[in-house]
Structure 1
């Protein structure tokens, strides 16, 4: 898939769904900017999650604004961008849509909770403990049916997941 005009894509899903891996490869294949949303979390959010405390909406709003600013800045430079952001609620996605200043696509990574738990248990060096997965799953409002959203199951190889995302994005 090649982009005909500058595009903004958010790779979303709960922790452990592979947002970073998928986002990096998607950006590489599209030859565009990659923004890792987790790196934009304020230190207080990271500390809270590292302690196993779920974030509240009030914790998330400033972070979502930072992600939205990154999307808007790329668009202001007429550059395409792929960003990662859990985007668990419709209100969060709508905030990102508004901030991006144009059409925004979401790649929703979904999978069996057992697969997510296994992935979270296997990773090292991440601030998000596996104990927070259930709170994320409880918070998640499925984006299926919203405009500009494609859904990809994570029970496949990284290449296959990105291939499927690209195929579906091309149909939007």
Structure 2
């Protein structure tokens, strides 16, 4: 029910009409839900109570959860304040840390690009080898085993006959 003053009926959201009947309604902002007209204010009030959501009961567990979350929030705020103070006092450390992470990110990106390039090269060489061409990397290359394993499943009867001779 809306938080209105109690009218002549003695109940919130229960109004007396000029005819003497009692009208019950619930309002929420611009929305108005009419519950009907009743002979007595007491009949209108239970109807309004049955439609309105029951009040939330605060349990011991609710209080504990609230306090736990509040402690975590206070810790987080203290950490943020400490970090801001540290950043102001030790600006060179912040600069060095940022440089470290930028260098590390660049190195990882370069390594990832090199792995992708080598993988594409190995796949292209496997395709070439499967088509009967020659490989243009030697057996010392770390991708030689991968290329050999990828292509070893594609044996034919002619290859088996050559192995028997």
Q: Could you say which TM-score interval applies, normalised by the shorter chain? A: under 0.3
* TM-score (normalizing by structure 2): 0.21
Higher RCO, 1 vs 2 (CA within 8 Å, ≥6 residues apart): 1
Larger radius of gyration: 2
Q: Which one has the bigger helix percentage? A: 2
